[in-house]
Structure 1
Amino acid sequence: MRMVFRWFGKDNDSVSLEHIKQIPGVEGVVWALHDVPAGEVWPLDKIKEQKAEIDAAGLRMDVVESVNIHEDIKLGLPSRDQYIENYKRTIENLAKVNVKVICYNFMPVFDWIRTNLFEKLEDGSTALFYEKSKVDNIDPLELVKKISANPDYTMPGWEPERLHSLSNLFEAYKNVTNDDLWRNLEYFLNEIIPFAREHDIKLAIHPDDPPWPIMGLPRIITSQDNIRKLLNLVDDPYNSITLCSGALGVNLENDIPAMIREFKDRIAFAHIRNVKVYENGDFIETSHRSEDGSLNMNEIVKAYYETDFKGYARPDHGRHIWEEQCRPGYGLYDRALGIMYLWGIWDTFQRTNLREKALNESFVR
């Protein structure tokens, strides 16, 4: 397992590369050019600028999250071919600095959705929270009005132009079904995966977060069956997945360890985090510790260990603790604690395995 840490750049992140470097076992950052709109080619000079900064800190930049998919590709519009060509040019440029994995998603309009970015937990920390009834009862037109009335309204990881074009996007997706979205994803993969293979970069799709329909919009990367379907659309190792335990885990019917074991050869990137799911469908991010959430982190890490996972992993979202002022979900302290918790589980399995191997060899002799 190769541990990495999400970083939004020196101008957009409260966490410095110097601090990331001090987290034991972290070898690189997961980065992106957040100022380049979806659909445009990532300029090589800007990529090299990021590389110089990350290299100077003694870290790797093997994983990009995300090279976002333009909505015209998801909608299957005639203009998608030009945007796919732009995506290929970005892959070309990323290959020149030895990027190995691109994490992306195929969620219409919204990426991850939460209703409160700073919900208070019992211990006084705050975390990202999802109130199901509030989302279920949202009128998309009212949401559009709210955003239109506040030009400064933002969401972490989002391009402002997407937020402020919601009205047009809702209209565009009005008659788009799950089957339509599957067809458009297959078209994209058929075009892009052979090109990614040529440049030795894996395309790792992130599951929908949360993994169910939002405001009538289709969502398809939601379950073990659907991930299997995705991988069979283009049966190529470069058509891979970012297995996010938190995104998939908020549906408690999703068996994360079973997914890891089935898709072990196609997981290029792992987001390993815990989440507490309530009976009414609400959920909140928690510490990574198993006891604090609804997911068995021990069994999740065990599945990665037993399948000899050698891909990239990151702790994903964290709480806001010790009065840290940070990007919602992306502070230093709790994610660093999460990494050490994950390494503790991993090291225990590793040392136990070594001890058993030594005992067996001694017995044979």
Structure 2
Amino acid sequence: MEKTWRWFGKKDNITLAMLKQIGVEGIVTALHDVPLGEVWTREKIHDLKSYIESYGMRWSVVESLPVVETIKYAGPDRDHQIEVYKESLRNLAAEGIHTICYNFMPVLDWARTDLLHANPNGTSNLYFSIPEFAYFDIYILKRENARESWADFKVLGPDGKPNGRDILKEVDELKKTMTPEKDHALVENIVIKTQGFVSGNFKEDDEHPIELFRELLALYKGIDKKQLRENMKYFLEAIMPVCEECDMYMCVHPDDPPFQILGLPRIVTSKEDIEWFLNAVPNKHNGLTFCAGSLSAGAQNNVVELARQFASRTWFVHLRSCHVFPNGDFTEASHLGGRADLIELTRIFEKVNPQLPMRVDHGMTMLGDETKGYNAGYSFLGRMFAMGQVQGIIATVDRELGIEYKQPGFFD
């Protein structure tokens, strides 16, 4: 697999010079300075592409060319925004960039409650506490019918079966210990620090994120899973002619976490969901970003079996892994541990398509990463450590399969 790295542009504290030294071959990035809903011009694409190539790497994958909310909930300007999307696709193709990772998650791109959850070895990881997220929903966001929806929420343990956890009881106990400062930290973790650095709905300097959050949720009133699926199908069918024309590969990212939250439908969470969108638009240019981390956070998912089934329609791979605790909470795991089995996943994807771009995705925060101003989940040393582990996996698997492995950056 091509070893890639998610990089957040010229303002990223992690530089391309640093990435070249650690064996990165391809860059995964976006035009983060272009406002949502505007065309990505060929000039801007070319400028960033040339900058990346000046360091001896290539722009391998766009993550993300955002699908704006109006496309997801079928707003009045949906068709206009789809035309904007098509123009951006054509401009990317004209510059030789052909793989687009995107998501169809309403409102939130991804969610965690703790961004520096302590590990026993002194590092930290991203963590999702179901009661803390439910507390945010009920008492901070104050979503209508939130309490009732959490009363009906079935928490799955590592075996994929409901564990009988009483979330509301835990939320009410948690409320006794919460303070305005803790509430603020939870908002920062769920809304600002995980969303503000991507091309999404929230910015790091938003003064009233909860009010904005409520406005966005209101857009989805009456939108259920069936309707959101139909909206996704409408979008994909509309852009497929351009994808055919320009040989653009769309690969949707699984929902993170892969279960229903905030009363919003989520439609890329499981085997059934993946089968649905691939069959709904049966075109090779409609494919999957196989995020082993997102999928392994759902105890309902057998990640290795999903890889075997969908490898031929996978155009981008995120190699990371999650550990699901007996109570249903989850955390990022070591890249050699957790539920995902990255060694077996590497075997599967190398057999099907050894040229797939791969990035290690989230990594531990370690050895001072937390002081460097890196984006949440996107440490340097932690991801470098993960990249070393995954490079070793790939090299070993390639030897098993008789594929020549080239260590990038040496003697070129």
Query: TM (normalized to structure 1)?
Result: 0.90
| 1:149-228 aligned within 5 A | 153-156=192-195, 157-159=197-199, 161-162=201-202, 164=209, 165-228=212-275
After superposition, the C-alpha distances for 1:84-120 in whole angstroms (9 at most, x for unaligned) are 0000111111112111101000000111100011111
Match of 2:94 in 1: 96
Match of 1:314 in 2: 359
Post-superposition shift, 1:183? 0.6
**Partner Cα distance (2:224, 2:109) in 1:** 18
SS of the equivalent of 1:313 reads: strand
Match of 2:80 in 1: 82
**Partner Cα distance (1:153, 1:223) in 2:** 27
Match of 1:296 in 2: 341
CA RMSD, 1 decimal: 2.2
Contact 1:33 1:42 in 2 (8 A): yes
**Partner Cα distance (1:9, 1:308) in 2:** 28
**What amino acid maps onto 2:25 in structure 1?**
E
| 1:1-365 aligned within 5 A | 1-11=1-11, 13-24=12-23, 26-139=24-137, 142-143=140-141, 153-156=192-195, 157-159=197-199, 161-162=201-202, 164=209, 165-290=212-337, 293-324=338-369, 325=372, 326-354=374-402
**What amino acid maps onto 1:16 in structure 2?**
T
After superposition, the C-alpha distances for 1:125-175 in whole angstroms (9 at most, x for unaligned) are 11111111111333368238978x99x944344447546432221112121
**Partner Cα distance (1:110, 1:283) in 2:** 18
Contact 1:62 1:98 in 2 (8 A): no
**Partner Cα distance (2:279, 2:192) in 1:** 39
After superposition, the C-alpha distances for 1:318-353 in whole angstroms (9 at most, x for unaligned) are 111111222211122221222221221222222233
Q: Unpaired runs of 5+ in structure 1?
A: 356-365
CA distance 1:199–1:316, change in 2 (3 Å): same
Shifted more, 231-240 versus 134-143: the winner is: 134-143
**Partner Cα distance (2:391, 2:198) in 1:** 30
**Partner Cα distance (2:52, 2:221) in 1:** 42
CA distance 1:140–1:101, change in 2 (3 Å): farther
Contact 1:237 1:265 in 2 (8 A): no
Contact 1:114 1:129 in 2 (8 A): yes
Q: Unpaired runs of 5+ in structure 2?
A: 144-182, 204-208, 404-412
Shifted more, 30-39 versus 64-73: the winner is: 30-39
Contact 1:204 1:239 in 2 (8 A): yes
Contact 2:42 2:95 in 1 (8 A): no
Query: TM (normalized to structure 2)?
Result: 0.80
**What amino acid maps onto 2:266 in structure 1?**
R
**Partner Cα distance (1:55, 1:306) in 2:** 29
Match of 1:360 in 2: none
Contact 1:249 1:256 in 2 (8 A): yes
After superposition, the C-alpha distances for 1:256-310 in whole angstroms (9 at most, x for unaligned) are 22122211221000001022211111111133122xx333222222222333442
**What amino acid maps onto 2:194 in structure 1?**
M
Post-superposition shift, 1:253? 2.5
CA distance 1:144–1:8, change in 2 (3 Å): farther
